[in-house]
Amino acid sequence: MSSAKLKLLVASTAAAAAVWGCANMGGGMAAKSSNGIPLGSSGPHVVQPLPDRPRFGQPISEADLVAWNIDIRTPDGLGLPVGQGSVAEGKKIYEANCIACHGADAKGGSVYGAMVGGIGSFKTGARVLTPGSMYPYAPILFDYIRRSMPMDRPQALAANEVYALSAYLLNLNGLVPANAVMDQNSLPRVQMPNRDGFLIDDRPDTKAVRCMTNCK
């Protein structure tokens, strides 16, 4: 290894230790990501030092990854494709593809529970989780339906069909009118009731003490 490369390796290892060392100093849960997510403690970093970093990856263009690039950044809908679908179209597509497992009007069927209702239930003793009550952002519907549904042939629906199913489920949950049409502009603008229902991990939250004798 050349001395310049060795210096670089030492410097980068020291920098890593400086960044991560704090995670092991008396509070693993204290280390947080730039967005405030607790990271836990740092892991081991013993790797074989290499004079030259091997490179086996083959360059590829984003254009050649287009069929794989299906994720939607759900708060703002980044990644939503061109296309559109209405509530009425969604009802037909639902009845052809979804009703067998999810039941009529998405009220629950032979395999899965209801996908409607539950709004307002979270402060009761029986929280009802549906896309309407739970999803903070409407584009989650598009992302999840496209990647996972229908269960027997996922990633088979066209963008227009996924928009239509999203519109239909939002309408059944009372979140868009019966004449609504969903597309890459309208879907992210649907206001979901649980939008502000989440708080970022703030554990450890329990205060157990290590009592040894006559504890209760």
Partner 1 sequence: MSNKPERDSVVRSRRNFLRRTAALTGGALAAGGAARAAQLPIPPTNREPGRVIDETAYGMPSKYESHVMRRRTDVLKNRQNLSDWSMTPLQHQPGIITPNGVVFERHHSGTPDIDPKTHRLAIHGTVKQPLTFTMDDLVRYPSVSRFHFHECSGNGLTDWLKPASTTVQQTHGLLSGILWTGVPASTLMEEAGIDPRGKWVLFEGADGSAHTRSIPMEKVLDDALIVYAMNGEALRPENGYPVRLVIPGWEGNTSVKWLRRIKVGDQPWHFRSETARYTDPMPEGKWRQFSMVMECKSVITSPSGGQQLRGPGFYEITGLAWSGAGKIRAVDVSVDGGKNWREAMLEEPIMDKCLTRFKVAWNWDGGPAVLMSRAVDSTGYVQPSVQDIQKVRAIVGFVQHHNAIQPWSVNAKGEVRNVIGQA
Residues 109-138 within binding reach of partner 1 (CB under 8 A):
110-112, 122-123, 125-127, 129, 131, 134-137
206 binds partner 1 (CB under 8 A): yes
CA distances (Å), 175 to each of 30, 69, 180, in order?
39, 28, 10
C-alpha 158/C-alpha 84 separation (Å) is: 10
CA distances (Å), 213 to each of 104, 129, 197, 206, 207, in order?
59, 43, 41, 21, 18
Distance in Å, CB of 179 to partner 1, minimum:
27
What is the Rg, in whole angstroms, of the alpha carbon atoms belonging to the chain? 25
Residue 164 in contact with residue 89, Cβ under 8 Å?
yes
Distance in Å, CB of 88 to partner 1, minimum:
25
Distance in Å, CB of 50 to partner 1, minimum:
7
211 binds partner 1 (CB under 8 A): yes
107 binds partner 1 (CB under 8 A): no
CB closer to partner 1 out of 4 and 45: 45
Looking at residues 138 to 167 of the shown chain, list those that interact with partner 1 (rule: CB under 8 A): 140, 143-144, 147-148, 151, 154-155
Neighbours of 195 (CB within 10 A): 13
Site string for partner 1, 38-77 (x = CB under 8 A): xxxxxxxxxxx-x--xxxxxxxxxx--x--xxxxxxxx--
For 164, phi then psi, to 5°, come to: -65, -45
Which amino acid is located at 48 in the chain?
A: Q
18 binds partner 1 (CB under 8 A): no
174 binds partner 1 (CB under 8 A): no
Distance in Å, CB of 25 to partner 1, minimum:
10
DSSP state of 81: P
Q: Which of 37, 96, 104, 178 binds partner 1 (CB under 8 A)?
A: 37
